[in-house]
Chains A and B, each alone.
Chain A
């Protein structure tokens, strides 16, 4: 025990070099302390991570290994280990399936549409809020717009239904005025607009908070110096505010890119009946219905696995790209 304490004291204090985990000048120290000593020293630390690691192994890693059924004609009765192997058959079926292709197309359409019409909204709103001078007004509005982020999708869609549905508040007003009630909650042609406005209503506040946090790190002296040098408010925004937001914008773009194959599963699942399967089918809902509903397990797992692999490649690729352009990205190279 005393040896362990001494060794720890001999180690450079970890807090003195934050983020320097990759460059610990540890080798001589490690050689001096045996594995057993280190284990004894750090036993309690290891025990503390154990419950979380166990949960991840059981509920994340074993299912990951369960993806082997993508190469099987899986049946729940024969199980993971005894179902017949079919090679790449399931993958071939996925690729030649027009419904899957349709689901991929829908997914990408929604992603691109939301990237154009949803992604800039929190940025603009954050700039707007940032220009509000009264701290009290600013925090109240922030608190209000952030609230729906904590609502469930069921609640959000029910709220939309009560406002914009055929029997909702706005339809009531229209009907009272002798007009036709709204049909946007069930109309496939305005569906992209509908789900994007739902996403904005629910999550734009979350984005605002992140961007405002980024803006709060800007030294006010920069604005003052720029103003003294004759820069107007728009030029200050262009040259100070926007550059301060850039790393966060890039970070969120990367995360969005990695997520581009998963669009609002619950949101679409919940509105499938109202709007129709053809328009709302995305990769995730397709996988769910093929597997859990129709029992084509191997096929559904193959489709899901491909999505997972492509998403992983997308996020790693985007991160690489960010590094190439000299940005921090999601994680640092170490």
Chain B
């Protein structure tokens, strides 16, 4: 023997502590592990015991006074060898061994077994300071054994008085998790993890099982059962659609593979980007709950879909609270995307109203992802509605009113002159200020090259036509004498006498210059900002905006006839200030004060 070869030493209490305390996210997982062991034991008995005497069941009893929880099954029980081999050898899984044994004689049953890592029983020490297991094997003439451990390196194993066939696990509950001794808490944990477990779980002798036993997709009427389940579990009474999942055959080119899956996807009534997006699944493997809020199995664009899936092909991690991202995971992703896409296509084809409800209810989320996914975009492009000055319209509906152009603004349409200009030309203006709307419009144009996008808030003079200045010379001269940039133009609507247009960069230039002047910008940065500003071609006068008088407006036309300067000047001042208010930009407190001073002066002149 090689003298240099040494053996690892294992500090069992430390290992137990690490496994028990760090492997799992919550102590309640211990409940799942114990129920799962009980389930597997019952499955084994159903196969191996030729003369089963009772229907399989699991009983959970709580004794708050004794601080104990007992989990008892009438399954196969364990022999002395099995207790030593599987219960007291970390990493050796009783269920995995059993699965291998059963796979030849009863493969369909072996697939029902859940455990496999040989670590689950350790989780009992998450919630118990002492674990006592009493078991009697179904094998003829088996004695009853009692195994006891305090979670350290030692355990006791002895024979005791005969007990019924099966296994009883008694947990002396740690004070830190005493809340599990509350019946409602424990029942809730059982329902969380083992609702679909096919063996009834009874608590404190109740004749009614606390778990549902049958998942909704196995009910006699799966449609109604699923609706009920969604209402109960997800608190959603009226999902817009429910899509049952089924086994899925995936073509691999040289071969094909069938992914076994059950469950359903559903579409809630509405979502909101960022705040209430979905795209999540609750995952079960062989009916045992693994995790919820799993967001990577559904395609990215399906953030308006939720669901529940039971897929034995998925592989859990050792803690069984996550999924392993292996090849089969990708295949399940693919299967889900294909089934979801096919169902949505079918829905769009056969139930147009419902499809529209879906697209409108999840508008933000759907629009965002449609920009990225061409196939998806094509299905929803004509259904999504936009806010316009004529109410909510789809793009085809909107384009029917315009000359194949989309006149849009990128800020909220509250009180903006651009709307009036657009409407003046008989064009509804579309509000594209919300999430993803511009990207969506741009993509729409890619698909429909005849359509033009016209941004209304990037420059207004595209809706104006120059007219001769001469008839308005006195009016224009007055403004110019006051260093106001002014032009006479013809534009719609006629009712609008004047507007002010500011250069795109005006706010930035004004703020940056002000910050540079006051020395607010730290030196090293000031140089960079100054250099940047110097490259811009915005002068002081243009910063004040350009006033456009509307030659179509009857009042503006009437101004030409006013000969008395005393009357004309205050009216022109008022007209200018009205236009500034309508534009609503670049008005800080100081400027608003000046505006009202000017207005007051003008009004005073008029009444004197």
The yes or no verdict on A and B being binding partners is no
